[in-house]
Amino acid sequence: MKRICLGFAAIVALGAAAAFSGVRDRLPGFQFAAEERNPVSHLRWSLAQDDFQFAIVSDRTGYHRANVFAQAIEKLNLLQPEFVITVGDLIEGTKKEEELVARWKEIDGFLGRLTMPFFYLGGNHDVGFKESAQFWTDKLGRLYYQFRYKNVLFLMLNADDPPGSPNGIGSFGQEQVAYAKKILEQNQNVRWTLVFVHRPLWNGDTKKNGWGDVEAALGVRPYTVFCGHLHQYQKYVRNGRNYYQLATTGGASRMRGVEYGEFDEIVWVTMKKDGPLLANLVLESIQTDDLKKPVTNESETPIPAKPVAKARGQAFFEGVPIPGAVVTLQPIKGGPPAVGIVAADGTFTLTTYAANDGAVAGEYKATVQWRLQDAKSKLGPNQLPAKYAAAGTSDLRVTIESGRVNELMLELRK
């Protein structure tokens, strides 16, 4: 047995020697005295020569909150990505030139502090009006464009083309679709394609809004898509490809937390040979070395809000809890809806403006949907009877009264 063990040790030593030989040539600048035994697990370096890391920021506006985006800028300087990309909505939307001048001046002040390049992308608040789109063109030039870095194609698209479309849901114009097709045709041999667009156009009529044409042009190439707009993180899988809808970097949010996809973030992307690796960095978790918050001065645009009353409840289907189901109170006579997610024990807490604040007093119809995710994060079909999914067919009625904690009970049946 002793002879066998000694033989095994010799094999390990030979393996270690092989693993550590020539490391100086494989990684310029690295020096290490390799011996028979070495105080390191291995020297298979994670980042290859063509790998790189960049960051993405999401929606700042749509009733932006004070000192969030400005803090993100300071923290990007701590993280030191190679460059930063936005998915749009940097300013509050307006048609007035004097307001456009002031709001872009504020953004320029924040972005001027970055120590790395920042790539712009227009959101509906930035370019959703003809006036704001013209201001963008005069200031920044192209409304859609592309660039390549280390053989990765970045395709930056404008989802408000033309601006001010009456449907308000976004689209690509014919010229932009033709441009995207041309760029994809000219860059067939890139190792990966990253598409950035403000709105999740794939959730709309893709035959009319132009996304279907772009998606068809992407074809079977390896690609990943990023968007914002809805202020809620969600991962989609379409055609075997990952589509990421990002949370916020200061935009209006109920801020109920990661479970709800409602949090302020910087997305950290490591581009590897076999695709991008994503890390969602919750903004509050990024701290300086002295744990002191950087001093920033960023205003806010508060959401016009009606008084709310605390409201919580329970939801069951055939007497069994439905964890993960989304409960929405739809006001019968107008007003903001309230939303909650059912916990494992069947309980939920309603939110209208801020996390768990409650609901506005009044009469509501309650809708409930329960869609489960598969192993690829794809949402499956609704597990509940279809009538509960829409206010027009749901028979669940709720009354919220002011000045008290409202206790609700929702019993769903087949």
pLDDT at 374: 67
Q: Are residues 201 and 127 in the same domain?
A: yes
At 341, the amino acid letter reads: I
Q: Give me the CATH number covering residue 326.
A: 2.60.40.10
Exposure b/e, 38-60, CB count within 10 A at least 16 = b: eeeeeeeeeeeeeebbbbbbbbb
Q: Is the pLDDT of residue 351 over 90?
A: yes
Within 8 A by CB and 6+ apart from 323, the residues are: 342, 343, 344, 346
Residues 278, 321, single domain; the answer is no
- Number of domains the chain is built from: 2
pLDDT in tens, 294-347: 999 999 999 999 999 999 999 999 999 999 999 999 999 888 999 999 999 999
**Res 2: pLDDT:** 42
- Whether residue 259 sits in one domain with residue 335: no
Question: Is residue 281 located within the same domain as residue 314?
Answer: no
Residue 69 lies in a domain: yes
Q: What is the pLDDT of residues 253-301, one digit of tens each?
A: 999 999 889 999 999 999 999 999 999 999 999 999 999 999 999 999 9
Mean pLDDT of the chain, nearest integer: 91
Of 397, 392, 382, 389, whose CA–CA distance to 368 is shortest? 389
Share of the chain above pLDDT 90, in %: 83
Identify whether residues 271 and 343 lie together within a single domain: no
Same domain assignment for residues 275 and 355: no
pLDDT at 372: 81
Mean pLDDT of 159-175: 85
Q: Can you give the residue range of the structural domain that contains 383?
A: 308-412
Task: Please enumerate in sequence order all residues whose Cβ is within 8 A of that of 273, keeping only pairs 6 or more positions apart, or say none.
Answer: 48, 50, 51, 191
pLDDT reading at 12 higher than 50: no
Query: 268 and 326 in one domain?
Result: no
> Does residue 41 lie within any of the structural domains?
no
What pLDDT, on the 0 to 100 scale, is given for residue 209?
A: 95
Residue 267 contacts residue 246 (beta carbons within 8 Å): yes
Using CA atoms, how far residue 240 sits from 382, 385, 387, 404, in Å, is 21, 29, 31, 49
Q: 123 and 189 in one domain? A: yes
Predicted TM-score of the model (pTM): 0.86
Residue 167 has pLDDT above 70, yes or no: no
pLDDT of residue 44: 86
Q: What CATH number is associated with residue 277?
A: 3.60.21.10
Q: Which distant-in-sequence residues (6+ apart) come within 8 Å of 390 by Cβ?
A: 367
Please indicate, yes or no, whether residues 162 and 200 belong to a single structural domain of this protein. yes
Q: Percentage of the chain with pLDDT > 70?
A: 91
Shared domain for 198 and 150, answered yes or no, is: yes
